[in-house]
C-alpha cells in the first residue's frame, strides 16, 4: 500500500526566508499585536469626537449654499428694570442672549439689554454685555420706555434689517427665529413697511414680542418720542399700533393705510405664544412637551400650539419660579444642543 507523502508544514517554508528577515517579521507581528488595543481605542475616540461635533453643532450650519444665500440681520432689545434684573434679566443673559451674542454670532442676531437711566447695573453692563439706556417709567407708562427704545435702536443700529422688541419675561428660541427668517426670506423685504408678531386685530400683541422691518421703523421713527408719547397714552402695544396707523396715513397724505401686524410669511401664525396663567400648555409641561395643545382661553381663531413650534413663549416670570422657567426652556430647545435636549427629555421622562 502506497502512502501519500506528508504535507509540508508551515515551518518547512521558513528556511526559504533569510533568518534576519524572519526576525523582522516576528518583531513586526509582536508590535502590531501590542498596538491593536491602542488602535481600537483611537478609533473609538475618533467616533466619539465626530458624534460630539454633529450633536453640538447647530443643524443650521450644515445647510446648502442656496439655503445660506440670504440671512437677515436682526437686532433684539429686551427691556428690564433694576427690580427684575436679578431674576429675569440674569435669566435672559445666561440663556438666549448669551447664545445669540457669544455662542453663535454667525446667525446675525444681536441682543441688547435696555436698562433704566441711572441703573445700578450700568457699570457691570459696560464690562459684560451690550446695553442702552431708556427713561425709567412705571408699568402704567411702559409705552414711553418702549417708544424711546425703538427710536434708540433705529439710531444706534442703522445696519440691521429687522428690529425685535422683547420683554424680560419672554423666552426666544434664537435658532428657530434664524431658521424661520431664512426660510421666509424670499417672501420678506426690509425695505417695505413690515411688522410681524401675534396679530390681534391690526396690532402686534406686545407680550410675545414683535418685529419691525427697517422701513417700518423708519416710517414711525419721527413720531416716536413726540407725537406717539404725547398723544397715545395707552398700553404699549395698543399705543404703538394706533400711532402707527394714524401717522402712516398722515405721512402718505391719506393715500395709504398702515399694513398692520402680520404673521411671518410662510407660517401658520403660531410661532409667537401669548399664554394665559392657566393655559393648558403650562399644566402639561411635565407630561408631554411634544404634544400639540388647544389653548383654553379666548384668542383669535383659537389656534393650536406646541412647545416644539414656538419662536417665543410669554410670560416666563422667573422671580416666581415657574415651570417651565427660562433655563428649562433653554435646555429643551435646540439652542442647548441635540445631546443636551435628548438628555433633558430622558431625565424628565424618568422623573414623570
Placement of cell 457691570 in the chain? 124
- The reported pLDDT for the residue numbered 70 is 67
Q: Assess contact for 312 and 173: CB atoms under 8 A.
A: yes
- 307-345 per-position pLDDT tens digit: 777 899 999 998 888 878 899 889 887 676 655 555 555
3-state secondary structure of 62: helix
H-only helix segments in 184-283: 214-223, 229-231, 236-251, 280-283
What CA–CA distance (Å, rounded) separates 81 from 199? 27
User: Which residues make beta-bridge pairs with 200?
Assistant: 203
Distant-in-sequence, close-in-space partners of 113: CB < 8 Å, separation ≥ 6: 77, 78, 80, 89, 92, 93, 97, 125, 129, 130, 131, 132
User: What distances in angstroms separate CA 352 from CA 77, 135, 334, 346, one per listed residue?
Assistant: 37, 46, 22, 10
- The reported pLDDT for the residue numbered 35 is 76
Provide φ and ψ at 201, rounded to 5°: 60, -115
3-state secondary structure of 83: coil
User: What distances in angstroms separate CA 101 from CA 105, 128, 146, 179, 282, one per listed residue?
Assistant: 5, 11, 22, 16, 29
- 39-77 per-position pLDDT tens digit: 788 888 888 887 766 665 544 444 444 444 468 999 999
278 HSE (CA, 13 A, CB side): 3
Give me the residues of the chain with pLDDT under 70, please: 1-22, 52-70, 251-255, 277-281, 283-305, 334, 336-352
- The reported pLDDT for the residue numbered 284 is 66
Estimate to the nearest angstrom the gap between the alpha carbon of 144 and the chain centroid.
27
With the CA atoms of 159, 164, 167 and 169 taken in that order, what torsion angle do they form, in degrees rounded to the nearest 10?
-110
Question: Which H or E run contains 141?
Answer: none
- The reported pLDDT for the residue numbered 287 is 54
- The reported pLDDT for the residue numbered 134 is 97
Q: Assess contact for 331 and 341: CB atoms under 8 A.
A: yes
What strand order describes the sheet that includes 272-274?
Answer: 171-172, 312-314, 272-274
Task: Please list the helix, strand and coil fractions of the chain in percent, rounded to the nearest 5, in that order.
Answer: 50, 15, 35
Provide φ and ψ at 42, rounded to 5°: -65, -40
- The reported pLDDT for the residue numbered 61 is 46
Distant-in-sequence, close-in-space partners of 96: CB < 8 Å, separation ≥ 6: 111, 171, 172, 173, 174, 330, 335
What CA–CA distance (Å, rounded) separates 79 from 282? 24
- The reported pLDDT for the residue numbered 7 is 54
Amino acid at each position: 500500500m502506497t502512502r501519500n507523502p506528508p504535507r509540508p508544514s508551515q515551518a518547512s517554508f521558513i528556511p526559504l526566508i533569510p533568518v534576519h528577515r524572519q526576525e523582522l517579521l516576528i518583531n513586526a507581528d509582536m508590535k502590531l499585536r501590542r498596538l491593536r488595543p491602542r488602535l481600537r481605542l483611537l478609533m473609538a475616540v475618533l467616533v466619539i469626537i465626530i458624534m460630539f461635533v454633529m450633536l453640538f453643532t447647530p443643524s443650521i450650519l450644515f445647510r446648502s449654499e442656496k439655503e445660506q444665500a440670504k440671512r437677515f440681520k436682526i437686532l433684539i432689545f429686551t427691556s428690564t428694570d433694576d427690580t427684575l434684573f436679578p431674576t429675569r434679566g440674569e435669566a435672559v443673559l445666561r440663556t438666549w442672549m448669551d447664545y445669540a451674542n457669544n455662542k453663535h454670532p454667525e446667525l446675525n442676531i444681536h441682543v441688547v439689554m435696555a436698562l433704566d437711566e441711572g441703573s445700578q447695573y450700568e457699570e457691570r453692563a459696560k464690562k459684560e454685555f451690550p446695553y442702552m439706556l431708556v427713561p425709567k417709567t412705571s408699568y402704567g407708562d411702559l409705552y414711553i420706555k418702549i417708544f424711546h427704545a425703538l427710536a434708540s435702536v433705529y439710531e444706534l443700529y442703522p445696519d440691521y434689517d429687522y428690529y425685535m422688541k422683547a420683554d424680560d419675561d419672554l423666552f426666544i428660541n434664537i435658532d428657530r427665529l434664524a431658521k424661520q427668517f431664512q426660510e421666509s426670506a424670499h417672501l420678506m423685504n426690509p425695505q417695505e413697511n413690515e411688522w410681524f408678531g401675534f396679530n390681534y386685530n391690526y396690532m402686534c400683541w406686545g407680550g410675545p414680542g414683535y418685529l419691525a422691518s427697517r422701513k417700518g421703523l423708519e416710517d414711525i421713527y419721527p413720531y416716536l418720542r413726540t407725537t406717539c408719547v404725547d398723544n397715545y397714552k395707552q398700553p404699549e402695544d395698543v399705543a404703538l399700533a394706533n400711532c402707527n396707523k394714524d401717522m402712516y396715513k398722515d405721512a402718505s397724505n391719506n393715500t395709504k393705510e398702515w399694513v398692520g401686524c402680520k404673521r411671518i410669511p410662510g407660517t401658520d401664525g403660531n410661532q409667537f405664544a401669548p399664554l394665559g396663567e392657566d393655559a393648558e400648555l403650562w399644566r402639561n409641561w411635565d407630561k408631554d412637551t411634544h404634544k400639540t395643545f388647544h389653548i383654553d382661553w379666548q384668542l383669535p381663531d383659537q389656534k393650536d400650539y406646541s412647545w416644539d413650534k414656538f419662536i417665543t413663549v410669554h410670560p416666563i416670570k422667573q422671580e416666581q419660579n415657574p415651570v417651565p422657567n427660562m433655563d428649562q426652556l433653554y435646555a429643551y430647545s435646540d439652542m442647548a444642543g441635540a445631546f443636551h435636549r435628548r438628555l433633558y427629555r430622558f431625565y424628565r421622562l424618568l422623573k414623570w
